[in-house]
Structure formats: C-alpha cells, structure tokens
Amino acid sequence: MTAAAHDPSSSERLCGACGMCCDGVLFHSVELQAGENPRQLSALGLKLRRKKGVEFFLQPCSAHREESGACSCTIYEDRPSRCRLFNCRQILAVEAGSVSEADALEKIRNARAQVARVNDLISRLGESNPARSLAHRTANALTLAEGAERTELHDELDATMKGLEGFLAKEFRIG
Ligand code: SF4
Ligand code: SF4
C-alpha cells in the first residue's frame, strides 16, 4: 500500500501514481496485526475501530493524501504491517520482470479512469459520502428510495462498477 518493497524507484513511482489500496478502491478496511500498537497508530492519525477484539481502520485511509494525482502516506515510515507487506499484482509483476513499469502505469491509469467514471456516476445519483469505500458508495447509490424507479444511470453505474471490479480482480488483486 503506497509502499515500496524490492524495487523502491519503480514501485514508489507506480504507487505514487495509484493509491488504490489506500483510497477505498481495492479495500473496505485494514486490520492491525498482532504486536502492532493501536495507541501509537491512533496518535499518528489513523482512525481505529474495534470489533470482536480486532482493531482495524476503514478505507479511504485517513493517512492517504492525493494532490494533483500524486498519492502519498502521511505515516509512511510507521505504517501498519499489512500496508508494508501488501504488493498488488502489478507491483509483483514489475518486480519479477514480467511487466514493464510503463505497462503497469498504463494499467493504473486505466483503472483510475474507470474509478473516476464510477465516482462521477455515483455523485450524479446523489450519493455523497466520501468516507466510505467505492464499493459501499456504489451500493448506496444503487439502493432505491421507496417508490423510486431504477434509471439508465443506475444501469450504467452497475455496469461500470462491474467492469472495474473485473479489471481490478484480473490486474491488481492477489489471490
Ligand atoms: S494498488 Fe498496487 S500500485 Fe496501487 S498503490 Fe497499491 S500496491 Fe501500489
Ligand atoms: S497507513 Fe498509509 S499505506 Fe496504510 S492504508 Fe493508510 S495511507 Fe495507505
């Protein structure tokens, strides 16, 4: 997550142009792992929650920043272990030498263009809660108020989000 593991220059550039594992596109939430210090992470600004003994935070992450298309993590040096360990399919492929950085960047741009399209449709349908994951916001936008009828905009959002999810599953998600 906005992280660099084996090839700092390449993965830093790609993650800096992406941010999708921090901004609510790829994940709903991130769980802390055994041995992590919730108080320290809270003090750093993570908005932690606790459920059934598990500490977690929701996405979009409060430490995620995006300015002029450049993404960063405000607590990068102290980020949780799940963030340190996660590498998406594109980063792994670039590190393995099976995909060029340019091709991975093209996939990121493609995904982000689809995300922008989903966001546009969501806002046109009146859903306005940026503090939820993209999947949650899409589900909210597709939920009809009592008596309301489904429109072509709902169909378009449904189809666009399904297209995006398929693309993310093929090109970014692991497992
Ligand atoms: S989805 Fe991949 S490229 Fe994007 S920020 Fe996460 S690890 Fe980096
Ligand atoms: S702590 Fe940093 S790396 Fe982890 S999800 Fe938040 S912004 Fe991303």
Tell me the ligand closest to 11's alpha carbon: 1
- Give the closest residue to 87 by CA, choosing from 170, 169, 174: 174
| Largest separation between any pair of C-alpha atoms in the chain | 54
Separation of 37 CA from ligand 2 center, angstroms? 15
Going from N- to C-terminal start, the domains of the chain cover 8-171
Separation of 14 CA from ligand 1 center, angstroms? 7
In this predicted model, what pLDDT tens digit does every residue of 4-63 receive, in sequence order? 444 468 999 999 999 999 999 999 999 999 999 999 999 999 999 999 999 999 999 999
Q: Is 129 left (phi over 0), alpha (psi -120 to 50) or beta?
A: beta
- Give the closest residue to 26 by CA, choosing from 81, 106, 89, 69: 89
Task: Centre a 10 Å sphere on the Cβ of residue 65 and count the other Cβ atoms it contains.
Answer: 15
pLDDT of residue 7: 47
Residue 83 to residue 2: CA distance in whole angstroms: 8
Residue 21 to residue 26: CA distance in whole angstroms: 5
Check if the beta carbon of residue 27 is closer than 8 Å to that of residue 133: yes
Closest-CA residue, ligand 2 atom 1, reads 79
Ligand 1 contact, 15 CB (< 6 A): yes
Ligand 1 contact, 20 CB (< 6 A): yes
Phi, psi of 47 (to 5 degrees): -90, 90
Ligand 2 contact, 61 CB (< 6 A): yes
Mean pLDDT over residues 116-126, rounded?
Answer: 96
Average pLDDT, the chain: 94
Site to substitute for ligand 1 among 6, 21, 30, most atoms within 8 A of C-beta: 21
- pTM, full prediction: 0.93
pLDDT of residue 175: 80
Site to substitute for ligand 2 among 29, 37, 64, 81, most atoms within 8 A of C-beta: 64
Confidence of residue 98 (pLDDT cuts 50, 70, 90): very high
- Order across the sheet with 54-58: list the strands: 29-31, 54-58, 48-51
Confidence of residue 129 (pLDDT cuts 50, 70, 90): confident
Q: Percent of the chain at pLDDT above 90?
A: 91
